[in-house]
Structure 1
Amino acid sequence: MINITADSVKGYKDEMVPYSLLSKKDKADTLVVMFPGGGYTVNFPLLYYPTLAFLERSFDVLQVNYRTDFYSTLSDEEFDRALIHDVRKVLEHFLQKKNTYKDFYFIGNSLGTIAMSAVLSNEPFIHAKAVWLTPLLTQDYVFNAMLKSISPGLCFIGDNDPFFNQERFNQLRENERIDLKFFEGATHRLEVDNTIETIEILKQVIQEIEQF
């Protein structure tokens, strides 16, 4: 049985930031933290099925459900600042209550890779396994974090993605810690025109994450 515990913490400008913990046992050794995209929530395939796969391994899964509707009222600079602030608050609040974990996984999708880039440089997450789902390669902050990361990493991206940059993708090959997975014609949601091929991409992503 999956246990779901919902909570929230006061974040940027006193806005409440909700989060949920999904677990199958009381004392898991591994915590998986999900950083969803703007319109791509934890209930969408690229995050939903990996969540189930991790729960099958009796890992705890922490889903950060930040308020993108609130962030949309902010300037670009303040948007990033608010997002990073809120994610750090959630992790701090949660780990003060439950800090029994030996290992960590981070899974970030789209704008979630901004938050992931920030917290990966902090203890105790420096060596967390990082899964970059359609990262925002056009953003210097995300690109530089990936390029310099010492964390084991998996990256999934396609070239029909407005945030894909071929030159930067090639540069990421310099970081041997990150295993790069490229899907020709795939969009920002890792979808292509053919439904069956899209399902095959999803299957490969889940299998790669399971083996990571």
Structure 2
Amino acid sequence: MHVNQKSVSNQTHRITYTHIKTEGSSQICFMFSGLGYTYEKPLLYYVTMLMLKHGIDVVHIHYTYPKELMTKSTDEIADAMMKDIDLVLQGVLSHNDYKNIIFAGKSIGTIPLIQRIMKDEVYKDAVMLLLTPLLTRTELFESLLECTHKGLLVIGTRDHYYTEEVYQLKTNTMNIQVIENADHSLDVLYTPTESLKALETVLNGIEQLL
């Protein structure tokens, strides 16, 4: 396994990323973190470990944005983030021959995933892992109603972006996991053992797709 810290840039943007490469992998998982929920936090850390267990290369994209970005429209957020994300996707995919692609987004990281990448014909066969998506944003929910991707959507009932309408999004290809009493970090407050069980449930759901 090789861990490479890299960066890509154009005239206006420079973005860093971590490319974790296993031996001879033909699969890759691009991960989009939340604003405060980074790759060292439990959910994204163990999703990374799960990918590596299955011999899947991983790319962590290291973007930072002001909190004010969340006051923008969903499409404005998607466009701002894609300026960074596209640079990394082009940089990685143009230099590596990957046959299968997985995308994993957490919180704000699901916005460009749902609004842009899932609508791009180039990625029509990619597996989508939507970890605590912002379902109360109407544009995101409506986009997900049209989803045809294979994947998993996970959210907790105490997440402020949770809606009981989430089950409308279940399709033959998109699985839904609703974690009782879990918050936006998928933690069950003051109950560590229940939080660990929630994490195990999510990892098992992802593993079934790999």
Please name the residue that 1:9 is paired with: 8
Map 1:46-195 onto structure 2 (within 5 A).
46-69=43-66, 72=68, 76-77=72-73, 78-98=76-96, 100-117=97-114, 118-167=116-165, 169-173=166-170, 175-193=171-189, 194-195=191-192
Q: Separation in 2 of the partners of 1:5 and 1:113?
A: 24
Identical columns (%): 30
Give CA-to-partner distance per residue, 1:42-70, whole Å, 9 cap, x none.
1111111111111122111011111224x
**Match of 1:59, as an amino acid?**
I
3-state SS, counterpart of residue 163 of structure 1: coil
CA distance in 2, matches of 1:171, 1:46: 25
Q: 2:197: which partner in 1? A: 200
Q: Secondary structure at the match of 1:120?
A: helix
- Equivalent-residue separation in structure 2 for 1:196 and 1:73 (angstroms): 34
Q: Say which SS state the counterpart of residue 135 (structure 2) adopts.
A: coil
Instruction: Give distance in 1, aligned partners of 2:201 and 2:70.
Output: 36
Measured after TM superposition, the shift of residue 75 of structure 1 is 5.8
138-147 vs 43-52, which deviates more?
A: 138-147
1:81 aligns to what SS in structure 2? helix
Q: Show the counterpart of 2:206.
A: 209
Relative to structure 1, the CA distance from residue 141 to residue 10 in structure 2 (aligned partners, 3 Å threshold; closer, same or farther) is farther
Task: Please state how far the C-alpha of 1:72 moved relative to its aligned partner.
Answer: 4.0
Deviation at 1:96, TM superposition (A): 1.6
Unaligned runs of 5+ in 1: none
Other-structure match for 1:20? 18
Comparing 72-81 with 27-36, which one deviates more in the overlay? Answer: 72-81
Cα distance in 2, alignment partners of residues 146 and 73 from structure 1: 22
Distance 1:45 1:74, change over 3 A: closer
Amino acid at match of 1:181: Q
Secondary structure class of the residue paired with 1:157: strand
Q: Which amino acid aligns with 1:10?
A: S
Question: Which amino acid counterpart does residue 64 of structure 1 have in structure 2?
Answer: I
Q: Give me the whole-angstrom Cα distance separating, in 2, the residues matched to 1:128 and 1:149.
A: 12
CA contact (8 A) 2:16 2:63 kept: yes
TM-score, normalised with respect to structure 2 = 0.89
Tell me how far 1:177 sits from its aligned partner: 1.8
Aligned equivalents of 1:34, 1:56: Cα separation in 2: 16
The offset of 1:39, in angstroms, is 0.4
The whole-number CA distance in structure 2 between the counterparts of 1:141 and 1:84 is 17
**Partners of 1:91 and 1:123 in 2: CA distance:** 15
Amino acid at match of 1:158: G
What TM-score, normalized by structure 1, do the two folds share? Answer: 0.89
User: In angstroms, what is the RMSD of aligned CA positions?
Assistant: 1.9
Task: Provide the C-alpha distance between the structure 2 equivalents of 1:73 and 1:35, rounded to a whole number of angstroms.
Answer: 16
SS of the equivalent of 1:116 reads helix
Structure 2 Cα separation of the partners of residues 6 and 145 of structure 1:
33
User: Per the alignment, do residues 30 and 120 of structure 1 end up closer, same or farther by CA in structure 2, a change over 3 Å counting?
Assistant: same
